Amino acid sequence: MSFSVPPSVIATGVLTGLVYGLGALGLSVIFGVVRVVNFAHGEIMVLGMYGAALLAQHAGLDPLAAAPLVAAVLFAGGWALQRGLINKLIGRPEHMQFILLAGVAMMLVNLMLMLFGPEAQAVQVAYAFDSFELGPLVLDKVRVYAALAAVLVAGGLSLFFSRTRLGKTIRACADNQLGARVVGLDVPRLYALTFGIGSATAGIAGCLLTLMVDVRPLLAPELTLLGFIIVIVGGLGSLTGALLGGLLIGVSEAFAGFLLLPSMKSMFSYGLLILILLLRPQGLLGKSS
Amino acid sequence: MTDEKISVPPLRLARRQFTKAALAATGVAAMGLPASAILAQTRTLKVGMLLPRSGFFAQAGQGCQRGADIAAALLSENGLRVELLNADTESDANVARSRAEKLIGDGAQVLVGAFDSGHTAAVAQVAEQHGVPLVINIAAAPQLTEQGYRTVFRNFPTSKTLVRNGLALMKDLFQATRKTPATAVCMYANDTFGQANKAAVEALLPQLDMPFRVLESINYDFAAKDLSAEVAKAKATGADLVIASTRANDAIMLVREMVKQRYRPMGLISPGSPGFYDDQFYKVLGRYGDFVISNVPWIDPKSEVARRIETAYRKEFPSYRYESDAFNVGFTFEAVLVATDAARRAGSTDPKALLQALPGTHLPEHVMIGAPIQFDPKGQNNGVGSAAVQNRNQRPTVVLPKSSAELDPVFPIPAWQGRS
């Protein structure tokens, strides 16, 4: 067996991993601030995918162009979910939050099955079959665009949290909830805002993913699990960690798929997860508790 | 009960003719009973349909269901009322098992299904336990008819036969086009069907003296999100030919990745699997889906029964594409046909009577290419044939065998670029 890997395979892993990373970033944002593990995260991503698919089919909108619209809708949905349901369980035992969000996830999957059916749907864009050819490197155009968009959104989020007053307020609330209350911050509002931002990020990641993966409702649990793996590997609550985790999972899957058996791709993700849990439980860029 | 005197080719007869023939065949007419009395006695056959109408195989399962619906309508015209008890296996073997139990509890006298080998294996156990016949519409894993079940009858080739026919047709293709690949790479989904095909290809290649050498076999997850690494691996082998055992979604992903990665071997051939002629395949890939070849059992364009089914299909399901559904519709229709034929010959719809009648099945008039439907002592029909079906102008087109060909085969495939 040859152990040389074509550069295209590595590039594909990197590009795919960046989109995975953006999806997980939404999960990380929510956990980092609200301290709620969003079991419906994959479902929100798939809602974003269907949003992009519907806009492509009925309005002829490219998923890249549809992303802001989908993000706005999912921001509102995330806000409402936090205000209407999750806020009522803040401070209650964690298992109640898990069950609530797992229930929301199941409802969303079944709703999507009822609305869209079980079949995979593809979004057709004009450049769906195009590639950039740079010497021996053949880069799938949709992956390049999706990865660039993912980096842009992640960069924007990073700037929002580090440079804006609202972002800093949310971070302050994440660091010390009691302190935030003492200085008069509206914590439930900030939580809702954060859940909205996390959902919007997941929605954008869903739009980008639509360019690479056919959408079907049963993809959702798989994406939730993938999100968990990525944030645990990268470090729960760390934005950069989520992107790094996504990159690692994307590249390791591509390597495993190419060098070993493609059917063992998922095994590598889980292997990486177990290794991180054993050697660095807080994740690569997470803070030790 | 003698099979010979009641083996009426039913689909060629009008309803009135059929009633007379059936009466004569059962010998009851001679007893002076009125026709209505006889029809009222044993003419409702409850067929438990087990199909994956939702979940991963939903598209195919729903196609099969349309075949069953047509069968119930057309075969009921022939004096035997076919009542379908429909159950959705949800593309899950455990659900298939529990639905089979429920159908039998609800009074199903014969089970038909279940599209996937894994699901069918689960249903076969239930059928055997209850002594209810199972007529398999589509499922290729050889073990289904190798386990000594008394109740299982399969009118579908085993994966070994599928692959044997598929490989033989490849040789015919190379001969017809005078182009022969020297190397090949095989790609299989890691589900029951894919792995059964893999085992069959690996067992048959040395026996059939194929002109190419297999450089690598690549297994992939049947529910994979994308096949970029798999196609990169196949491309890296530099093989002239890709032999792929696919389902609907992975067939799309495979070709899409081949186009994106600019991997154009001489050909992409399925040795007996679906996927390349699915409606969604044409919709998503458009012209990129042209020229791939599926060596699969196919509707016999010369069959009168097939023409009747096509007419009924186009009337009942105008929003669906017959060509893409024909495989699933044809085999499911035939499975119901086998069950109703057994009921007619048995003169009863009791499962025990059906079980006695099924081994004597002999149906020269049927839908799919092949010899008359009949079963060996294990319950397997060994006479199902295959055709090389090439996508041409986004339509599955028979290109081999020559006797049934609608167009000449194109091989090697033209370049991807410039097709859109």
Please list every residue in chain A whose beta carbon sits closer than 8 Å to the beta carbon of residue B54.
113, 117-118
- Residues A119, B55: C-beta atoms closer than 8 Å: no
The architecture of the domain spanning A7-279 is Orthogonal Bundle (1.10)
- Residues B284, A122: C-beta atoms closer than 8 Å: yes
Which of A16, A49, A129 to mutate to probe the B interface, most B CBs <10 Å?
A: A129
CA distance A132 to chain B (A): 9
Of all residues in chain B, the percent with pLDDT exceeding 70 is 89
Q: Residue B415 has what DSSP assignment?
A: P
What are the helix and strand counts (H, E) for chain A?
11, 2
Distances (CA, A) of A219 to A109, A112, B59: 9, 11, 16
CA distance B361 to chain A (A): 37
Q: Which residue of B has its CA nearest to A117?
A: B54
pLDDT digits (tens, 9 = 90+) for A274-285: 999 999 988 888
Is the omega angle on the peptide bond into residue B271 within 30 degrees of 0, that is, cis? no
Residue B5 has pLDDT above 60, yes or no: no
pLDDT of residue A5: 63
Most confident of A70-84, B40-54, B277-291: A70-84
- The mean per-residue pLDDT over the stretch B259-268 comes to 93
Q: Which residue of A has its CA nearest to B53?
A: A118
Please list every residue in chain A whose beta carbon sits closer than 8 Å to the beta carbon of residue B218.
261-262
CB atoms within 10 A of CB B154: 29
Nearest to A262 among B229, B248, B261 (CB): B229
**Do residues B396 and B288 make contact, with C-beta atoms less than 8 angstroms apart?**
no
Rounded to whole angstroms, the Cα distance separating A125 from A128 reads 5
**What is the identity of the amino acid at A10?**
I
CA distance B91 to chain A (A): 10
Taken in order of first residue, the domains within chain B and their CATH numbers are 4-157+300-360 (3.40.50.2300), 160-296+387-404 (3.40.50.2300)
In whole angstroms, how large is the CA radius of gyration of chain B? 22
Please list every residue in chain B whose beta carbon sits closer than 8 Å to the beta carbon of residue A53.
none
Nearest to B218 among A128, A141, A262 (CB): A262
Chain A contacts to B (CB-CB under 8 A)? 6, 8-9, 12-13, 16, 113, 117-120, 122, 124, 128-131, 133, 138, 140-141, 212-214, 218-219, 222, 253-254, 256-258, 261-263, 265-266
- Name the token pair of B32: 């002076």
Nearest to A9 among B58, B232, B280 (CB): B232
Rounded to whole angstroms, the Cα distance separating B110 from B350 reads 9
Phi, psi of B112 (to 5 degrees): -130, 130
Please list every residue in chain A whose beta carbon sits closer than 8 Å to the beta carbon of residue B232.
6, 8-9, 12, 257-258
Distances (CA, A) of B217 to A111, B144, B169, B199: 39, 25, 20, 11
pLDDT of residue B13: 37
Using pLDDT thresholds of 50, 70 and 90, give the confidence band for residue B290. Answer: very high
- Residues A258, B229: C-beta atoms closer than 8 Å: yes
- Residues A262, B224: C-beta atoms closer than 8 Å: yes
Nearest to A117 among B58, B256, B259 (CB): B58
Looking at the DSSP bridge assignments, the partners of residue B87 are: B50
Give, for A159, the enclosing helix (H) or strand (E): helix A141-163
Residue B6 has pLDDT above 80, yes or no: no
- Residues A263, B219: C-beta atoms closer than 8 Å: yes
Judged by a CB distance cut-off of 8 A, whether residue B58 touches chain A is yes
Please list every residue in chain B whose beta carbon sits closer than 8 Å to the beta carbon of residue A140.
228, 260-261
CA distance B216 to chain A (A): 10
- Name the token pair of A184: 């008069």
Q: What three-state secondary structure class fits B188?
A: strand
Domain boundaries, chain A: 7-279
Q: What stretches of A164-186 show up as alpha helix (H) in DSSP?
A: 165-175, 177-182
- Residues A263, B221: C-beta atoms closer than 8 Å: yes
Which of A218, A263, A270 to mutate to probe the B interface, most B CBs <10 Å?
A: A263
Using pLDDT thresholds of 50, 70 and 90, give the confidence band for residue B411. Answer: very high
Judged by a CB distance cut-off of 8 A, whether residue B253 touches chain A is yes
> At how many degrees (to 10) do helices A141-163 and A7-34 cross?
30
Looking at the DSSP bridge assignments, the partners of residue B389 are: B294, B398
- Residues A218, B227: C-beta atoms closer than 8 Å: no
Residue B128 has pLDDT above 80, yes or no: yes
pLDDT of residue A247: 92
Please list every residue in chain B whose beta carbon sits closer than 8 Å to the beta carbon of residue A147.
none
The CA-CA-CA angle for residues A30, A34, A37, to 5°, reads 60
CA distance A203 to chain B (A): 18
Judged by a CB distance cut-off of 8 A, whether residue B153 touches chain A is no
Length of chain B: 420
In whole angstroms, how large is the CA radius of gyration of chain A? 19
pLDDT digits (tens, 9 = 90+) for B137-189: 999 888 999 989 999 999 999 988 888 899 999 999 999 999 999 999 999 98
Per-residue pLDDT tens listing for chain A (289 residues): 445 567 888 898 999 999 999 999 999 999 888 888 899 999 999 999 999 999 999 999 999 999 999 999 999 999 999 999 888 887 788 788 889 999 999 999 999 988 988 778 889 898 988 888 888 788 899 999 999 999 999 999 999 999 999 999 998 888 888 888 888 888 889 999 999 999 999 999 999 999 999 999 989 999 999 999 999 999 887 888 999 999 999 988 888 878 777 767 778 888 888 999 999 988 888 776 6
CA distance B59 to chain A (A): 7
pLDDT digits (tens, 9 = 90+) for A194-245: 999 999 999 999 999 999 999 999 899 999 999 999 999 998 878 889 999 9
Give, for A253, the enclosing helix (H) or strand (E): helix A239-259
Task: With a threshold of 0.90, tell me whether the complex ipTM lies above it.
Answer: no
Q: Which residue of A has its CA nearest to B60?
A: A119
Q: What is chain A's mean pLDDT, rounded?
A: 89
Judged by a CB distance cut-off of 8 A, whether residue B233 touches chain A is yes
**Do residues B393 and B399 make contact, with C-beta atoms less than 8 angstroms apart?**
no
Rounded to whole angstroms, the Cα distance separating B362 from B373 reads 5
- Residues A213, B225: C-beta atoms closer than 8 Å: yes
**Do residues A78 and A196 make contact, with C-beta atoms less than 8 angstroms apart?**
yes
Nearest to B220 among A12, A133, A263 (CB): A263
CB under 8 Å to A48, separation ≥6 — which residues?
A: A70, A71, A74, A202, A203, A204, A205, A206, A207, A210
Nearest to A9 among B56, B229, B253 (CB): B229
Residue B23 has pLDDT above 90, yes or no: no
Please list every residue in chain B whose beta carbon sits closer than 8 Å to the beta carbon of residue A8.
232, 261
pLDDT of residue B141: 87
Q: What three-state secondary structure class fits B146?
A: coil
Please list every residue in chain A whose beta carbon sits closer than 8 Å to the beta carbon of residue B224.
262, 265
